Chain A
Amino acid sequence: MPTIISPVSPILPADKQLAPLPSSLAGVRVSLLDNSKANAGLLLGEIVEALARQEGAVPGIVERKSSASIPATPAALERLGRASDLVLAGTADCGSCSSGSVQDIVALEGAGIPCVLLGTDIFDGLIGQLAAWRGLPDLRVALTAHPIGGIGPSEVVAKALSLVPVVRDLATAAAS
């Protein structure tokens, strides 16, 4: 089968803008977009609980995807948009789940909801490539050492607690 090559270079997408951040997390509704990867729900839940205790954030809703490798449904994104001032999404600890989560975040940021993606360090480069491809190169990412899945609950909680100040700083305009 012949390959047809366009003589026109594809145009790189114009960079999109991140949604504005709150100045603090006090009273901010923080929702979760759990992509169903192993330990994602525990990690995200521990972080939002800590943000509530330490910063006065208000836990919002939890949306759980049926598969990590697909984007969230439009209905789920709409519910998150209505119920949230900030969304924590994750986990980005594989290629296909990073791709799905970046796609979700681009949609939410485009709707004015700031997000933080939780992922693991070995996917940092891929997340950056995916974010650039989607036109949001400055996407906010909080990374921990790989892996998140396949470890015990106490290790997940420890990772979550170490990520709390990172997420807080990424999610507040005063610190950014």
Chain B
Amino acid sequence: MDVPAAGRNSVPAETLGVVKGLLLPDGADVAVADWDAVRGVLGLRLVLDGVECKDCVMPREHLEMVALDALRRADQPVTAVRFVDPREFS
């Protein structure tokens, strides 16, 4: 099966807004790393620039599960969420 190339700029704003809303209280943000609209696979990079308490932001595993659950409850076309977490590389 041919899968169209994923686009970075076509993630629905409402989809991204649901995820950003989970992170905003801690001052964190996300950037789209990859978006497969056909399969609904959303790749995100956690942005922690300026976040004073990086450990206050949920760990990646929790983020991925909570974000997917929140997106499904908001009827967003996402089947999987993957985060790249800079804390795991520092």
Contact = CB atoms under 8 A, between A and B. Distances in A.
B is a partner of A: yes
A95 B69 contact: no
| Prevailing SS type, chain A contact patch | helix
Given A132-B69, A133-B66, A133-B69, A126 B79 contact: no
Interface string B23-51: 10110100000001001110000000000
Nearest to A3: B41
Contacts of B62: 96, 99
Contacts, number: 66
A113 to B, nearest CB: 24
Interface of B: 21-23, 25-26, 28, 36, 39-41, 53, 55-59, 62, 65-66, 68-70, 72-73, 79-80, 82
11 contacts: A3-B80, A9-B79, A12-B69, A12-B72, A94-B53, A95-B22, A95-B57, A96-B55, A125-B22, A129-B69, A132-B69
Interface of A: 3, 5-6, 9-10, 12, 69, 94-97, 99, 122-123, 125-126, 129-130, 132-133, 146
